[in-house]
């Protein structure tokens, strides 16, 4: 991980914790969005532009993540997590799993992209997760690895 990524993420963590009126749902969204945005920015930027790309990606991801955290209720989060666990465990690569909350019309999907083992022999999967809130679609790429108890933990 480069220094720009770490410093930008650290600043956002501090700001998310200090922002007035920002609850735990929004803070979680900020962190998830910032991490995803920073990761995308680090892959897009090269050379001196890398720092700028990471910073822009982090800030944009944080804003999107805060809105998602604000909008998703507990039922949405439970459905999304169950969908993530089941999709990573049972779906073949490129096979999509979906969830839907009929009470508020929020929905989403998870598609495992690639399966691999780490240097420590951990079983991991890259995935694409989509969430639709109020007709607005948000996408995020991530990686999750299987834990000792058999569940999947998001690692980035």
Report, in this order, helix, strand and coil percent for the chain, each rounded to 5.
50, 25, 25
Q: What is the pLDDT of residues 8-66, one digit of tens each?
A: 555 555 544 544 454 454 555 555 565 666 555 555 555 555 555 555 666 666 555 55
Q: What is the pLDDT of residues 80-124, one digit of tens each?
A: 999 999 999 999 999 999 999 998 999 999 999 999 999 999 999
pLDDT bin (cut points 50, 70, 90) of residue 142 is: very high
Phi, psi for 109 (deg, rounded to 5): -150, 165
Measured CA to CA, the distance from residue 113 to residue 117 in angstroms comes to 14
Q: Is 62 exposed, middle or buried, given 0-12, 13-18 or 19+ CB atoms closer than 10 A?
A: buried
């Amino acid at each position: 991980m480069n220094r720009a990524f770490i410093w930008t993420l650290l600043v956002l963590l501090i700001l998310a914790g200090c922002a007035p009126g920002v609850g735990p749902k929004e803070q979680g969204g900020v962190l998830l969005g910032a991490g995803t945005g920073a990761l995308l920015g680090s892959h897009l930027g090269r050379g001196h532009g890398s720092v700028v790309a990471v910073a822009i990606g982090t800030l944009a991801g944080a804003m999107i993540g805060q809105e998602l955290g604000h909008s998703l209720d507990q039922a949405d989060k439970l459905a999304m997590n169950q969908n993530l666990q089941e999709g990573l465990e049972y779906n073949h690569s490129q096979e999509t799993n979906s969830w839907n909350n009929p009470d508020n019309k929020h929905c989403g999907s998870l598609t495992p992209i690639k399966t691999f083992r780490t240097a420590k022999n951990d079983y991991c999967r890259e995935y694409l997760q989509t969430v639709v809130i109020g007709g607005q679609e948000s996408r995020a790429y991530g990686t999750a690895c299987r834990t000792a108890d058999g569940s999947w933990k998001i690692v980035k």
